[in-house]
Amino acid sequence: MIKINLLPHREERRKQRKQAFVGMLVLSAILGFAIVLAGGGYFAAQISNQNQRNDFIKAENRKLDEQIKEIAMLKQEIEALKARQQAVEDLQSDRNQPVYLMDELVKQVPEGVYLRAFKQEGQRVALNGYAQSNERISELLRNLGNHSPWLERPDLVEIRSAVVGQGKDSKRVFDFTVNVGIKRPRDKEAAAANSGSDAAAQAKSKQL
């Protein structure tokens, strides 16, 4: 006996396939949403961590800026204290300058030169006097510039012919004005240190 299936099996298969396809689509959508959600959460966590790091770095930078400002203020205060200390030392050393000046003028003024006045302004002294000749003035300038440990940078301001005395006792001389600088003790020490370093460098260069 032959059995014939009269049910619409083809439509049933199509229906089953369609249901399976829809199920796969739903499952894929769920999996895609889960992946997107997990990826979004991961990236959100990474962004949050990076923001926290950035906030920490910004806070540390602000602290460093404050510390830099404090260091700058401390440096300014130290420089101000050094300047005050140097001013006090200069005042103490300047009290002895008239003694050094008078002593050096006695040593460095050559014969044939007569000083009649001098005036100090800061670290410069204006010397006024008479000289028998221009050579005597040149010798005075050389002595003040090269042979004095306390005087430096002499500058001839003015020189003119003049007559001293009256009648038979009158003499023709040269009236001059010279400016010269006075060294402070610290200037002498710095000059000595520089000359010592230069001598050491020259000796080393000769050895090489």
Any domain includes 35: no
Confidence (pLDDT) at 119: 87
Any domain includes 133: yes
Any domain includes 102: yes
168: number of CA atoms within 13 Å, CB side?
0
In the structure, what pLDDT confidence band is assigned to residue 131 with cuts at 50, 70 and 90?
Answer: very high
In the structure, what pLDDT confidence band is assigned to residue 191 with cuts at 50, 70 and 90?
Answer: low
The pTM of this model reads 0.48
Q: Which of 165, 143, 145 is nearest to 154 (CA)?
A: 145
The CATH number of residue 175's host domain is 3.30.1360.100
Q: Is residue 130 within 8 Å of 164, Cβ to Cβ? A: yes
Confidence (pLDDT) at 126: 92
Q: What share of the chain is helix, strand, coil (3-state, %, to 5)?
A: 65, 20, 15
Full domain range(s) for residue 131: 97-207
Q: Which of 130, 141, 134 is nearest to 108 (CA)?
A: 141
Amino acid at 108: Q
Q: Is residue 171 within 8 Å of 165, Cβ to Cβ? A: yes
Any domain includes 33: no
pLDDT tens-digit series, residues 140-188: 999 888 888 888 889 999 999 888 877 777 888 899 999 998 887 665 5
In the DSSP assignment, the letter for residue 150 is S
Any domain includes 189: yes
Q: How far apart are CA 161 and CA 141, in angstroms?
A: 18
pLDDT at position 8 over 70:
no
Domain count, the chain: 1
Which residue is it, tokens 């006695």? 106
pLDDT at position 72 over 70:
yes
- List own/partner pairs for 135-139 with CB under 8 A and 24 or more apart: 136/110, 136/111, 136/112, 136/174, 137/113, 137/174, 137/176, 137/178, 139/110, 139/113
Sequence length of the chain is 208
